[in-house]
Structure 1
Amino acid sequence: MGIGKMKKHKEMLRRSVLRRHLPETHWFTRARALRMLRSYSRIFIKPNHGSGGTGIVRVKRLRSGYEVRCGLKRTYVGSASLYKAIKSYLKPSGRYLVQRGLRLAKYKGSIFDARIYMQKPKKKWSISGMAARVAAPHRFVTNYQKGGHGVKLKRVLSRLFKKRKKVKRTIKKIKKISRLIARTINKRHSIRELGVDLGIEKNGRIWIIEANSRPGHMLFTQLSNKTPLYKIMKNKRLIRRRYL
């Protein structure tokens, strides 16, 4: 089993540089979810262990009541039935987090985030690949397993910001945050690969969505430029030979 989301979140919280990029996150309880819905218009409830966007529940505050959504299923409820509706989508045996919902920027009408593929084949962490993960239509998660597709990150950011300087600054910031995340988590865990997922708002604010210690590389097969994919596969072979 991989490193739990809450453990990684707490480790990143200790770094002041990362703290400002972390959305408010707590263990899920009925009281905590209701309290966060008073502060934010939407929240996400995520399994502590798990990947691929499976089992994530989004709760959205409406003018009258709430929309509770998991995958393509959705329920509209009032306050009295909210907790029951949320619980119907959760596995009784699993532990869940509740997290502030982000308003991610869009590319061609669909939300996107950035996947940064970090690897450490030798002594230092390096970025093997960067791509935008664009959600499938009508989805609120961007994961490849849920129909998300890969697009060159620079192309997506250029469409969002228009100004070349802003694109350059954002990519530089993304790289800096990703390297710091990898070093922070590596301090307490023996890892050689990390998939960093960063959310970007319309105004350019960057949020840390997830740091996956078992990242998939299929997203990079969809890019027309195969250089990142070849680099990822080469480093995977190096890591296997040296450390496994």
Structure 2
Amino acid sequence: MTIGKMKKYEEMLQNPVLRPHLPETHWMTNSRTLRMLKTHSSLFIKPNHGSGGNGIIRVRRLRRGYEVQCGSSRKTAGPASVLKAIHSYRKSKHRYLVQKGLQLEKYHGVIFDIRVYLQKPKNDWMIAGMAARVAAPHKFVTNYHKGGHAEPLRRVLLSLFQNNQAKVNAYYQKIEKLSINIAKTVNHWHSIHELGVDLAIGKDGHIWIIEANSHPGHMLFTQLSDRTMIRTIMANKRSIGI
């Protein structure tokens, strides 16, 4: 059975180094959702066992009321009907989390995040690939199956930081260090040998942990013109036996 998002979140929360990088997240209840809507301009509501960006609901505060969106469908609702709008997109068999929405940096006007592909072919974790995942226009998720595409991470960071090489290198080191720390923290999950870590950069420059996935997909890396990362990933898969 796959490990749910809340279990991963709670385990990472125990690590004092990772804790400042985790957005506020709780089990979804009606009362919790309404409380968080009062203090945050946006929320993400996610199925605990969802993957590929499926079933994620975004709630954004408008000047009057809220916009509730799931996939390409969206509704506007007032304070009295926002819960009804949220529940119309929920699947009853799933348990959901509610998470603080983040104000993220953009690349060419659309949101992006960072996928770090870690593998453990022997005894130690290594980073086999890192790429930016750029969302399709008007999408709020970056997943490959939702139209997101890969861009070389250095290219995106150079654009973000106005070609400041020193700043890009510093962020690279932070991303690598944080990702290895995450992998070591969750290492006991049924002897996993691969991990997909998704990170994002806020408008204030802070790095946020979005997800740690014990069954990461590698198709994103096939989109990069430089084949080095996908070759490394596939070679390690053969070594691991998966």
Tell me the TM-score normalized by structure 2: 0.98
Residue 191 of structure 1 is matched in structure 2 by 192
DSSP 3-state at the match of 1:186: coil
Matches within 5 A, 1:53-202: 53-162=53-162, 163-202=164-203
Cα distance per residue 1:22-74 (max 9 Å; x no partner): 00000001111111111110000001002100000000011110000001110
CA distance in 1: counterparts of 2:158 and 2:203, whole angstroms? 12
1:129 alignment partner AA: G
2:192 alignment partner AA: I
Which piece of structure 1 moves more, 184-193 or 128-137? Answer: 184-193
1:161 alignment partner AA: F
2:80 alignment partner AA: A
* Total equivalences in the alignment: 241
Cα distance per residue 1:169-201 (max 9 Å; x no partner): 111000011001001011343210000000112
Where has structure 1 moved over 4 Å in runs of 4 or more?
none
CA distance in 2: counterparts of 1:3 and 1:158, whole angstroms? 35
Residue 36 of structure 2 is matched in structure 1 by 36
Cα distance per residue 1:72-92 (max 9 Å; x no partner): 110000011111100010100
2:229 alignment partner AA: P
Cα distance per residue 1:123-169 (max 9 Å; x no partner): 00000000000000000000000000000001001100122111111
CA distance in 2: counterparts of 1:221 and 1:188, whole angstroms? 27
DSSP 3-state at the match of 2:21: coil
CA distance in 1: counterparts of 2:38 and 2:79, whole angstroms? 12
Which piece of structure 1 moves more, 92-101 or 161-170? Answer: 161-170
Whether contact under 8 Å (1:46, 1:56) holds in the other structure is yes
CA distance in 2: counterparts of 1:150 and 1:3, whole angstroms? 26
CA distance in 1: counterparts of 2:165 and 2:181, whole angstroms? 25
Q: Sequence identity, in percent?
A: 64
2:205 alignment partner AA: G
Residue 237 of structure 1 is matched in structure 2 by 238
Matched, 1:205 2:206: yes
CA distance in 2: counterparts of 1:41 and 1:173, whole angstroms? 28
2:175 alignment partner AA: I
Residue 223 of structure 2 is matched in structure 1 by 222
Quote the RMSD (CA, aligned, Å). Answer: 0.9
Cα displacement (A) at 1:16: 0.5
CA distance in 2: counterparts of 1:202 and 1:63, whole angstroms? 22
Whether contact under 8 Å (1:25, 1:98) holds in the other structure is yes
Whether contact under 8 Å (1:170, 1:204) holds in the other structure is no
Query: Gaps (5+ residues) in structure 2?
Result: none
CA distance in 2: counterparts of 1:218 and 1:40, whole angstroms? 34
CA distance in 2: counterparts of 1:7 and 1:20, whole angstroms? 17
Query: Gaps (5+ residues) in structure 1?
Result: none
CA distance in 2: counterparts of 1:52 and 1:221, whole angstroms? 17
Tell me the TM-score normalized by structure 1: 0.97
DSSP 3-state at the match of 1:88: helix
DSSP 3-state at the match of 1:204: coil
